[in-house]
Amino acid sequence: MTTRTATLAGGCFWGVEELFRDLEGVVDTDVGYTGGDIPDATYELVKTGRTGHAESIRIEFDPSRISYEEILDYFFRLHDPTQVNRQMNDVGSQYRSTIFVHDDEQRKAAEKAIEDLEASGRWSAPIATTIEEAGPFWIAESYHQDYLQKNPGGYTCHWLRD
């Protein structure tokens, strides 16, 4: 099986991971930190909001079962893409809404997805989601991986909004 990678940030990575976990075609997920300025990012550093990293999810998916465009559509359903540097109670640049693209094909798909979402009128405020080049992805600490599986009923601000 040939897989592809999508890297997304939409607030606290626990809730994003929990919703993507069971999506048909998703093979594996990891939560971590990307988009920042320092190597070997850790939660203790990233939570300060001064490293430039976003709490992110790296999704390995089977493109014969789900397309990158479908991944993006789902991403926009599970968080509020109009929020700048926040999702509900989580505030700071580490909680920004960002699509980290791995190639030109993903960039074009991300641009189109944002354009289509803006044109849909679904949100009354402008879409704040940014597009950034995917860089190093630092795996988060083990206690963050599969957090809501380990802690049912734990904090999340993510749900499907339709």
Q: Give the tokens for residue 155.
A: 């904090």
Q: DSSP readout, 101-139?
A: ESSHHHHHHHHHHHHHHHHHT-SSSPP--EEEE----EE
CA atoms within 13 A on the CB side of 162: 8
Distances (CA, A) of 135 to 52, 61, 125: 12, 19, 29
Q: Give the tokens for residue 88.
A: 């509900």
Q: Residue 87 in contact with residue 11, Cβ under 8 Å?
A: yes
What positions carry a catalytic annotation? 12
